Amino acid sequence: MWKKIDRYYQTLKYLKKSQIKYLVRNRLISRKKAETSAQAPAYGELPLWIPRLDQHPDYRKRFSVEELLEGKVTLLHECGHPGGPGWREPEKSHLWNFNLHYLEFLIPLAAAWREEPDRKYYECFRDYCRRWIEDNREGTGDGWHPYTISLRLTNLWICLDGFGEVVREDKEFFRQLNDSMYAQYQHLQKRLELHLLGNHYFENLKAVMLGALYFKEPGVYDAYKIRLGDEIAEQILPDGVHYERSLMYHKLILEDLMRTAKAVKPADHLLYQELLGTIQKMADAMYSLEEGLGRTPLFNDAGDNVARSMTSLLAALREEFLITPVPGQAFPDAGYYCLHGKNIKILMDAGEIAPSYMPGHGHCDALSFELSWCGKPLLVNSGTGLYQGELRPYFRSTAAHNTVVIDGEEQSECWGEHRVARRISQVSGQAEPGRIRGKLLTCTGKPQGRSIEWNGQSVEIWDQVHGLAQAYFHLAPGFFYEEQDRKVQIQSEAGELICTVQVTPGDHITVHRQGQICSYAPEFGRLEQTEVLEVSWTADGSEHMIQLNFTETRKNI
């Protein structure tokens, strides 16, 4: 019992006082139903459609328009049929049900309409909207959660801009949709996620500010413009990385700012120019950290099928804002550092787990790294998969990342779906030519240091810890370990030798080919099995080296 009390104390002590106040407030009003009927006093237009994002092949392949026309929706690799009270499908994951209420799956219908103005696409969009309005009149459930409202409103405005005049000409439906959106907009202002903050609160503020533009409420617009500006200043670190240190959420917030900038440009040019400065910094960080890795880096909660692809974001940045990213190597505020070599890129995390009061998307991935070879992921962190389920604790654990477990303990005390009690401290990192360094104290006070060096043909990983050390190296799918004497080879599916892992004499080597530790989730809802190398030794605080010797490789295989 006392252990449980201490865990709650260690979790709650990092929260802001205002969060505690709003946590209590939310408990008191959580059972109150939303007012689902309203009459929009006025409405205008929001230019939110961005062709390079909304019609990009990387995005459209996530959704099957043919399925949508048949009443089926596939999200996060799960398929369902929206309908019934609250659109609740108990057999599906909570994350799937939550995502369903974003109505993001309607954007591909608008994209199909823009390419071929067939009435079936518009009528399908209208049918889903009408069904959502009718099935969610009770004002309860996930559909009236402030986060789903925030994303749904933005997605509906994107669709309205995408469909254009065909919606406005459908006067009765257009009125019905606007009245519903106005009721959601009003409810959102009463339920801002001030208890949570982070990206959720950011989405709340963005949606209300855009709603104030759309519904022509200048007083609300002016107030929320200030609040959103304050959040941008807090959430976007000086090096341009979003402060939750998830490169997936970084891209989501970058897209939000791009949409917001496009929406405000006609009416608020000063804010537009301010947003461009932030967008440039975030674009620089995104490109620098992801380019060459082959997909969204899997640090903290992340996956490749939630945010828009970097390729589409870069195309939209060029076309809409004339922004080209400036590459960098070190992002000390976030704690991310890059190392480049011939055919090699390494990204290492030497930063805090998350903002202290909002660590819900944090993992035990400090001093972990991802390594790409010829533009393909080779050594990877394990991913996220889902926010619910039996694998959630594993994916947040230290062993699920390319770092070191000391004496069988976790770096930080992650628990529940989105909570962290005791966590790493005294974290620091630095980048030098050919080398990245980082150090920290674990949640139990154990020191950990790591240096990763590239000398032209090999990667040297130097770890410095006390106690029983277990270093993990998770392979990406398509690569395999082959044990030979005191060395372990990494080979491709075609049998090509990629590199040899050489350990220190006395180290114990284990190659895991099955079990939970081999779980890998590059996307939400998609689970694969990989091979994992574990190197263990008894550490006395001196430096210990594991070396990856790469062969001369072709640019592509």
Non-local CB neighbours of 53 within 8 Å, separated by 6+ positions? 59, 255, 258, 308, 312, 313, 316
Within 10 angstroms of residue 200's Cβ, the number of other Cβ atoms is: 18
Judged on CB neighbours under 10 Å (0-12, 13-18, 19+), 509 is: middle
Burial class (CB in 10 A: 0-12, 13-18, 19+), 137: middle
Specify the fold of 330-550. Answer: Beta-galactosidase; Chain A, domain 5 (2.70.98)
| Helix and strand numbers, DSSP H then E, in the chain | 17, 23
With a cut of 50, list the residues of the chain below it in pLDDT. Answer: 554-557
Sheet containing strand 376-379, strands side by side: 330-331, 336-341, 344-349, 369-373, 376-379
Who contacts 434 (Cβ-Cβ below 8 Å, separation ≥6)?
339, 453, 454, 455
Q: In what order do the strands lie in the sheet with 404-406?
A: 404-406, 466-474, 532-540, 508-512
The confidence score (pLDDT) of residue 553 equals 53
- pLDDT digits over 305-317, tens only? 999 999 999 999 9
Q: Note whether 207 and 149 are within 8 A (CB).
A: yes
Coil, helix or strand for 223? helix
Structural domain spans, the chain? 36-196, 330-550
pTM of the entire structure? 0.96
Quote the CA–CA distance of 49 and 161 in Å, as a whole number: 6
Q: What are phi and psi for residue 435, nearest 5 degrees?
A: -150, 145
How far are the Cα atoms of 19, 196, 356, 415 from residue 16, in angstroms, in the given order? Answer: 5, 10, 9, 20
